[in-house]
Structure 1
Amino acid sequence: MSETHALMDGRLHVYRRENSRFWQCATYLNGRNHRQSTKETNIAYAREFARDWFLDRVAEDRLRRRRGLVVQSGQPARPEHVPKAQPGEKTFREAAAVFEREYEAMTLGERNPSYVAGKGRVLRLYLNPFFGDLPLSQVTAGRIQEYRLHRVTPPSEPARVRYVKDGRARVGKVRAWKRPSRQTLHNEIVCLRQVLKTANRKGWIAALPDMSSPYRASGKISHRAWFSPQEYKRLYEATRERARNPKKERWREECEQFHDYVLFMVNTGLRPDEAQRLQFRDVSVVVDDATGERILEIEVRGKRGVGYCKSMPGAVLPFQRVKKRKGGEPSDLVFGLVQRELLNAVLDELDLKKDREGNPRTAYSLRHTYICLRLMEGADIYQVAKNCRTSVEMIEKYYASHIANTLDASAINVRKQKPAKRRAASDETT
């Protein structure tokens, strides 16, 4: 038998099951049962937590009846009139739970753990509060568009951060609303589609609704932030000056490391996370058979698995300086974490933090610079894509579209000769 205590004139119950050491609380509001674990073993703390929790539920219930919305702290609202599920029909929340369990098990070792955890975070913070109690048959194209509209509409009241401390529910500072980016909203819709696909496989729905975004035929193609040859020259000259004359002597090694990092990245095209994982045993200095120049052969481990990269000759000397400076063992990291603060400080000094479109430059911009410089020098786009472990389509979309050197004037400015007979006829008439 479970031990039970009645509070708030019998509208709130605090109880503990036989095989549990934690107290739980429950109430019945507006035709629904609400339950929550207090995570407390002491009954006094549990009763105090339960009272705060009950008052929050009552306030939410009033908002639901008054405004037609359920407003939870930092979470999206959901429709008031939630259609009741037919007997045997599953809700979105149940499908989401199945998807999350399957996704974690099926992608074990194949996906980054933080990426997998992000799916659960999207479900918990955004999708379940909006769609959770809806029957799967009611998750229609119209509902999905309502969700998009809700996410980009500022709330009428600012949300406050809620947290639990010392067994009590507390309210913190006001959380400023920020419009989600296009990519953030796209990721949420992708997660929604994956949940509905899970429901489809289980036979809980007959087909997926239309989830395409209306009013948007195609997105604007904008190039990624990079450094033009003149800007890159200013950047490496500034990092070289810092390496020679650091502002403080104890910063000398960090400044030298950062200077070599900039040169290495622009001459290899590695992603920042790939450079972060790079070990000395992954890099070999070789003489290229085709050019006769010394280059680096790099075994890259990144988001695409294991790949290979052949560097420009300009990457050899920075790598040798780093190896001599660190005296590293084969399993030691070449660079480790990106020196983000130092990069931002140098870019701010040179007024290069943003390009002319307002795109911020980051360590990824060094990779973009490598690709753009290779295209400007006339390198084969397929070989550049292969060396950077990406696709030709991505390079054509984000890089080649704004590189003037990729346009062949001789092929564009073609002047076709008039046929001989037509030219002779025109001469006779004159």
Structure 2
Amino acid sequence: MAAERYTLLDGRVHVYRRENSRFWQCAIYLSGRNHRSSTHQDRLDAALTVAREWALDRIAEDRLGARSLSLNEAVATDTPLTPTTAAAKTFRQAAEAFMTEYRVLTAGERNARYVENKERHLKLYLLPFFGTRPVSEVTAGLIQQYRVARLNNASGRRPARSTLHQEMVTLRQVLKSANRHGWIAAVPDMSAPYKTSGKIAHRAWFSPEEYVRLRAATAERARNPKRDRWRAECELFHDFVEIMANTGLRPDEAQRLEMRDVKVVTDTATQQRILEIEVRGKRGVGFCKSTPDAVAPFERLLKRRGVSQPTDLVFGKIQRQLLNAVLDELGLKEDRDGNPRTAYSLRHTYICLRLLEGADIYQVAKNCRTSVEMIEKFYASHIKTRLDAAALNGRGQSRKEPSASKALANA
């Protein structure tokens, strides 16, 4: 009986079964030598899987052996090691390959600005440090040197923790791309040594008293703007503050909001008029239901706007300078911990106020298109109503054990 044969990896790997044998064998030819092994599998599907893994291991070992030989030859001849001498791809080539793949594979699924940030990380920071090195020389130690260099930059401006994390994500993606192409055997360890748990700081928000002051200040601006030509902008800004604090929208979601995305409806459960909003943001399409207090500012906005098209923007671009001016006048630009307040703080205010009122945290997370974990981590940890004083301070009455004589009498 003739041997059964199959091939893998573009014909480089042969899988076959000899006569009078129930196990499948595999073979690959590398660097002038034929490697053979038994898969110890009698089923073809399992044998093909084992053969593929075995062949990839042999290919990796062969490349590592060639790499070691090139290093030894360079040392013996006192020849400077260059990417050409080592027959290795440079980090710059790996980065270019990654970006080419990334643009195509994430088209329509990633925000254009997010893709631009990948290019910016590479151009400004990663390529100047790793660019000319062979990608195989990017080790865990070299990555640690990069961290130290970024944190001790000459400008004296220390990058934020999240900024450095994003650069590490881009670096890891480049190395994974190089690994897929077979330019490196494995991705090096990129975990940060000496890492401690990051401080969990609450997001900047407006307490109920501070929000009342902010709303009163924006209302006064809407009634009496400093320049009459600013009246329309001040009125829109006042409505923006009230709607944002009663819906929990992200600022970018509010800027993209169109007239057709917002409806005034009567809630069947509470019989109150609320806004029902179809949100298009970083999480795709979601839905949001406002509090009743968001209806009045939206109707004011519609009355001022008059006849409008369904595709007209509700807010458009909001003047950030106006928000900063109002906050500076009220002394509310920073909270007590020094965290700056921005338009995003209105979303945080919505979440915190709902939690203060005892709203279900799962429903708040769904309405804000985020996770319960995020709310527990950044909001619920500093909301006092999340602690039950009765459960904390209550004292259970200890039960007295009956005496032995009474136990015998009742027996």
* TM-score where L is the length of structure 1: 0.73
Question: Distance between the aligned counterparts of 2:163 and 2:81, measured in 1?
Answer: 26
2:83, 2:89 within 8 Å by CA — same for their partners in 1? Answer: no
Tell me, yes or no, if structure 1 residue 180 matches structure 2 residue 155: no
Name the CA shift for 1:153/1:418 in 2 (closer, same or farther; >3 Å).
same
Who is 1:138 aligned against?
137
Who is 1:298 aligned against?
277
Q: In the alignment, residue 97 of structure 1 is paired with which amino acid?
A: E
Question: Distance between the aligned counterparts of 2:81 and 2:133, measured in 1?
Answer: 6
Q: Secondary structure at the match of 2:196?
A: coil
Deviation at 1:177, TM superposition (A): 4.9
Name the CA shift for 1:183/1:85 in 2 (closer, same or farther; >3 Å).
farther
| 1:47-84 per-position Cα deviation (integer Å, ceiling 9, x unaligned) | xxxxxxxxxxxxxxxxxxxxxxxxxxxxxxxxxx9765
Tell me, yes or no, if structure 1 residue 272 matches structure 2 residue 251: yes
Q: Secondary structure at the match of 1:352?
A: coil
Question: Distance between the aligned counterparts of 1:214 and 1:412, measured in 2?
Answer: 38
Who is 1:359 aligned against?
339
Question: Distance between the aligned counterparts of 1:424 and 1:150, measured in 2?
Answer: 75
Question: Distance between the aligned counterparts of 1:277 and 1:344, measured in 2?
Answer: 21
Deviation at 1:103, TM superposition (A): 0.2
Q: Secondary structure at the match of 1:292?
A: coil
1:267, 1:315 within 8 Å by CA — same for their partners in 2? Answer: yes
RMSD: 1.8
1:82, 1:133 within 8 Å by CA — same for their partners in 2? Answer: no
Question: Distance between the aligned counterparts of 2:363 and 2:383, measured in 1?
Answer: 17
Pick one of 181, 187, 193 that aligns with 1:214: 193
Deviation at 1:216, TM superposition (A): 1.7
Question: Distance between the aligned counterparts of 1:418 and 1:265, measured in 2?
Answer: 51
Tell me, yes or no, if structure 1 residue 393 matches structure 2 residue 392: no
Q: In the alignment, residue 103 of structure 1 is paired with which amino acid?
A: Y
Question: Distance between the aligned counterparts of 1:422 and 1:397, measured in 2?
Answer: 47
Question: Distance between the aligned counterparts of 1:112 and 1:386, measured in 2?
Answer: 22
Who is 1:374 aligned against?
354
Question: Distance between the aligned counterparts of 2:94 and 2:83, measured in 1?
Answer: 16
Q: Secondary structure at the match of 1:420?
A: coil
Question: Distance between the aligned counterparts of 1:419 and 1:208, measured in 2?
Answer: 61
Deviation at 1:154, TM superposition (A): 3.3
1:85, 1:91 within 8 Å by CA — same for their partners in 2? Answer: no
Deviation at 1:413, TM superposition (A): 2.3
Question: Distance between the aligned counterparts of 1:264 and 1:386, measured in 2?
Answer: 18
Question: 348-357 or 249-258, which moves further after superposition?
Answer: 249-258
Who is 1:311 aligned against?
290
2:83, 2:90 within 8 Å by CA — same for their partners in 1? Answer: no
Matches within 5 A, 1:253-268: 253-268=232-247
Matches within 5 A, 1:56-67: none
Deviation at 1:422, TM superposition (A): 7.7
Question: Distance between the aligned counterparts of 2:156 and 2:128, measured in 1?
Answer: 17
1:281, 1:330 within 8 Å by CA — same for their partners in 2? Answer: yes
Deviation at 1:183, TM superposition (A): 1.3
Pick one of 277, 282, 287 that aligns with 2:266: 287
Question: Distance between the aligned counterparts of 2:344 and 2:147, measured in 1?
Answer: 30
Matches within 5 A, 1:322-361: 322-327=301-306, 328-361=308-341
Who is 1:96 aligned against?
95
2:258, 2:314 within 8 Å by CA — same for their partners in 1? Answer: yes
Who is 1:48 aligned against?
none
* TM-score where L is the length of structure 2: 0.76
Who is 2:169 aligned against?
190
Deviation at 1:412, TM superposition (A): 2.1
Q: In the alignment, residue 100 of structure 2 is paired with which amino acid?
A: R
| 1:397-426 per-position Cα deviation (integer Å, ceiling 9, x unaligned) | 00000000011122222423333218999x
Tell me, yes or no, if structure 1 residue 223 matches structure 2 residue 202: yes
Name the CA shift for 1:91/1:411 in 2 (closer, same or farther; >3 Å).
same
Q: Secondary structure at the match of 2:246?
A: helix
Question: 270-279 or 239-248, which moves further after superposition?
Answer: 239-248
Deviation at 1:117, TM superposition (A): 1.6
1:85, 1:134 within 8 Å by CA — same for their partners in 2? Answer: no
Tell me, yes or no, if structure 1 residue 125 matches structure 2 residue 124: yes
| 1:309-357 per-position Cα deviation (integer Å, ceiling 9, x unaligned) | 0000000011111111112221100000122010000000000000001
Tell me, yes or no, if structure 1 residue 238 matches structure 2 residue 237: no
Question: Distance between the aligned counterparts of 1:259 and 1:410, measured in 2?
Answer: 40
Q: Secondary structure at the match of 1:421?
A: coil
Who is 2:55 aligned against?
none
Deviation at 1:179, TM superposition (A): 2.0
Question: Distance between the aligned counterparts of 1:415 and 1:89, measured in 2?
Answer: 70
| 1:349-393 per-position Cα deviation (integer Å, ceiling 9, x unaligned) | 000000001000000000000000000000000000000000000
Deviation at 1:268, TM superposition (A): 0.4
Q: In the alignment, residue 123 of structure 2 is paired with which amino acid?
A: R
Question: Distance between the aligned counterparts of 2:354 and 2:101, measured in 1?
Answer: 43
Q: In the alignment, residue 236 of structure 2 is paired with which amino acid?
A: Q
Pick one of 386, 391, 406 that aligns with 1:411: 391
Identical pairs, percent: 67
Question: Distance between the aligned counterparts of 1:102 and 1:415, measured in 2?
Answer: 63
Name the CA shift for 1:360/1:202 in 2 (closer, same or farther; >3 Å).
same
Deviation at 1:85, TM superposition (A): 6.2
Q: In the alignment, residue 101 of structure 1 is paired with which amino acid?
A: T
Deviation at 1:87, TM superposition (A): 4.0
